[in-house]
A and B are shown apart, each in its own frame.
Chain A
Amino acid sequence: MIPLFCLIFLGLSSTHGKDEFTYQQHIGCTFNRHGHVGRFWRYGFNTKDIMHVDLENEAVVSTSDDGNFMADERKSKLYFKRKEARLNMICSAVQTVFWQSNNSLSRAAKPTVRVSMEVQEGQEYLACSVQGFYPIAISVHWVYRGKIVHFGNTKTGVLPHKDGTFQMTSYLPLGNKTLQDIVCETEHISIEGKLRATFEDESSNLGYIVGIALVSFLLSCLAPLGITALILFMRKRGPQSSVNESLDQSSDGDIAATVTLMDLTGENVQAEPNPEV
């Protein structure tokens, strides 16, 4: 009854009418090939820590007033022992599934690194994009003339991909630095030593450039040809060319016909003086 009343009250008072309450648990297990290293079990309500399992003191303790009643219900030693057993069961189950399922998250993924130039608000930046790495721990930094650049550079956080890998981009304002002296260095478990990347003018876009070249070549080659063909076609079709058309019908005898015509005129010329004589 009371929660219902609260909801109605909140629904009316809030402009969005969408107040929501959340009860959250966070169980943590840390392990390596040899076994477990650390464990915890925490509880949260409305962004506050309310309670956690204290493995050292063998107790469930509240960390805010809101969690007091919950911790009070969990005071017995027996409850703690059962809780600890459940935590162990959960952690070892995850560990077993993790090692035996041959999951892609059990292998490190090596990132691709690319340095490109970007212009934002009139300022030139070099962007070092490190994409597709796993696990999450990574170090990306800029080196100018052999020295690490500590100031001025900004980074995105580590951003997730749908396949469990991550990416991160680091930006360096170019200022008056010379391009060829700037190196982006990446350190990750998948890389032996450091991966060093410098700015290169995207030769990787070769296919695209070739495509542009081919298309513009063909288009500009076909354009005058097309225009000429069109003009010739129009001329053929024009009204003054009815004779031409009849000539065209005997297209093979084209040249032969003109020759005979010329021969005839030639005969005429030759024939002309005769009556005078």
Chain B
Amino acid sequence: MFTYLMSFCFVSADYEVVSILSYTRYTSRDPMEQGVVVLVNEAVFAYFNSTQKTFQLRPSASAGFSVLEASKRMDCVSEVTKAFPRQEDYLERLIEQTNGAKPPKVSPSVNVYSHFPAMPGTPNYLYCYATGFYPGDIEISFLLNGRPFPGPTETSDLVYGEDWTFKVFKYIRILPHPAEEYACLVNHSSFAQPKTTVWRLQVSKTTGASYLWTGLVAAAFGATLGCFLSVFMCKRINRRK
């Protein structure tokens, strides 16, 4: 609620709302998954790179985490590196204390949308965005005409909101075509079976008709010219004989 109030304030008073998310996930697949993500006004601003032990900025900036003086950078990094083992410890104690009570399962809402207004033959990005799910484990994949999408798929950072439920999106590069059908397949432990959300190019009735008429009129002109030229060609050749 707080964040929502603040984001209204932002419009008039130029506030920046920062959220720092730090989590430890205990999954059966991967023993521990830990991460830190920094959001500014609900957009991802930075994330902690565990292999390089530093923060990296997103989406684009002319300078990086190094604008901070060295001692402060160290403080930030050690805050994370110290927190991770502590979080593991607390998580284990919390599981122990609750006798491993099953965590609640909350199903995701799925949205499939393009980055730019979708037009036939114009490169675009297609997103599949799952929100409000718990726990954080989720499978998202794309289909093109019912088959697995052949190109690369990018994944956003896993983030969560005020109610601790997760949000994540995947995206692909597409060249939309009216005859093609894209779909996003989402599977989550709260589902009995995967959920499919279909996306196709919305060609409005009027636009479709205008394409048809343009094509037909041009074809008629073309055919007339073609026939005329053919007759001309025949005449010339006959005259030669």
Residues of B within 8 A of A232 (CB): 233-234, 237
- Nearest Cβ on chain A to B234's Cβ, whole angstroms: 6
Within 8 A of A (CB), among B209-228: 210-211, 214-223, 225-227
B207 to A205, Cβ gap below 8 A? Answer: yes
Residues of A within 8 A of B120 (CB): 205, 208
Contact pattern, A 20-48, Cβ under 8 Å of B = 1, otherwise 0 = 11111111111111000110100011111
| Docked pose: A163 CA to B96 CA in angstroms | 41
A21 to B25, Cβ gap below 8 A? Answer: yes
Within 8 A of B (CB), among A176-190: 188-189
| Docked pose: A221 CA to B40 CA in angstroms | 59
| Docked pose: A214 CA to B45 CA in angstroms | 47
| Docked pose: A166 CA to B7 CA in angstroms | 14
A93 to B240, Cβ gap below 8 A? Answer: no
Residues of B within 8 A of A10 (CB): 100, 102
- Determine the residue in chain B with the shortest Cβ distance to A251: B240
A119 to B205, Cβ gap below 8 A? Answer: yes
Given A103-B57, A161-B127, the answer on whether A201 and B154 have CB atoms closer than 8 Å is no
Asked if B179 is at the interface (CB within 8 A of a chain A CB), the reply is no
| Docked pose: A112 CA to B226 CA in angstroms | 43
Q: How many residues of B contact A (CB 8 A)?
A: 119
Given A21-B25, A30-B18, the answer on whether A159 and B94 have CB atoms closer than 8 Å is no
Asked if A57 is at the interface (CB within 8 A of a chain B CB), the reply is no
Within 8 A of A (CB), among B11-60: 11, 13-29, 38, 40-46, 55, 57-60
B6 to A104, Cβ gap below 8 A? Answer: no
Residues of B within 8 A of A23 (CB): 23-26, 87, 90-91, 94
Majority secondary structure, A binding face: mixed
| Docked pose: A48 CA to B223 CA in angstroms | 72
Asked if A160 is at the interface (CB within 8 A of a chain B CB), the reply is yes
Residues of A within 8 A of B116 (CB): 112, 131
B111 to A157, Cβ gap below 8 A? Answer: yes
> Using a Cβ cutoff of 8 Å, how many contacts connect chains A and B?
337
Stretch at the interface among A146-154, A222-230, A259-267, A268-276: A222-230
| Docked pose: A21 CA to B41 CA in angstroms | 27
Task: Indicate which residue in B21, B113, B125, B237 contacts A25 across the interface (CB closer than 8 Å).
Answer: B21
A163 to B59, Cβ gap below 8 A? Answer: yes
Residues of B within 8 A of A246 (CB): none
Asked if A9 is at the interface (CB within 8 A of a chain B CB), the reply is yes
A137 to B8, Cβ gap below 8 A? Answer: yes
Which residue, A38, A97, A209, A232, has most C-beta atoms of chain B within 10 A? Answer: A97
Given A23-B87, A25-B23, A27-B19, the answer on whether A134 and B41 have CB atoms closer than 8 Å is yes
- Nearest Cβ on chain B to A253's Cβ, whole angstroms: 12
Given A3-B92, A27-B19, A97-B68, the answer on whether A104 and B205 have CB atoms closer than 8 Å is no
Asked if B70 is at the interface (CB within 8 A of a chain A CB), the reply is no
Asked if A77 is at the interface (CB within 8 A of a chain B CB), the reply is no
Within 8 A of B (CB), among A93-108: 93-98, 100-105
Contact pattern, A 127-164, Cβ under 8 Å of B = 1, otherwise 0 = 10101001111000000000000000000111111111
List 15 other contacts, CB 8 Å, given A21-B25, A27-B19, A189-B11.
A20-B103, A22-B24, A22-B164, A26-B164, A30-B18, A48-B164, A90-B79, A94-B46, A116-B202, A156-B111, A161-B125, A167-B113, A221-B222, A225-B229, A232-B233
Interfacial residues, chain A to chain B (CB-CB below 8 A): 2-3, 6-7, 9-11, 14, 16-33, 37-38, 40, 44-50, 66, 69-70, 86, 89-91, 93-98, 100-105, 112, 114, 116-119, 127, 129, 131, 134-137, 156-167, 169, 188-189, 201-202, 204-205, 208-209, 212-214, 216-225, 227-229, 232, 244, 254-255
